[in-house]
Amino acid sequence: MNQTVYSYRPADCSTRPIIYDQSLCVGCNRCADVCQCDILLPSPVKGEHPVVAYPGECYYCGACVMVCPRKGAIRLQHPLMNRAKFVPVIPRS
């Protein structure tokens, strides 16, 4: 049986779009399979979470979070500039 060998060079990025909880992740790699941007690579160590190889390419679609069988094992963290809160404008009378 042939085994696929992945090689990559990690890309430097100031964002961390995907955060794994080591205590909850079972290393099923479903998140890597469903990722539309291919930023996740299956972990070379069985049972560990996938490698976030290209964090700057994340679309923040949330597909990885939705497909995860363990609630809370993976969390999507939007960049600070996308987390701004808008205050509703109250018209003056």
Residue 72 sits in a domain whose CATH number is 3.30.70.20
In a domain, 30, yes or no: yes
Amino acid at 14: S
Q: Provide the pLDDT for residue 6.
A: 66
Q: Spell 63-81 as b/e; 16+ CB within 10 A means b.
A: bbbeebeeeebbeeeeeee
Written as six digits, the tokens of 50 are 């996938």
**What's the pTM value of the predicted model, to 2 decimals?**
0.74
Which regions of the chain are under pLDDT 50?
Answer: none
Q: Provide the pLDDT for residue 76.
A: 92
Q: How many residues does the chain have?
A: 93
Q: Identify the residue whose tokens are 């430097």.
A: 12
In a domain, 33, yes or no: yes
Q: Provide the pLDDT for residue 45.
A: 87
Number of domains in the chain: 1
Range of the domain at 26: 21-82
In a domain, 13, yes or no: no
Q: Provide the pLDDT for residue 26.
A: 94
Q: Provide the pLDDT for residue 24.
A: 95
In a domain, 78, yes or no: yes
In a domain, 4, yes or no: no
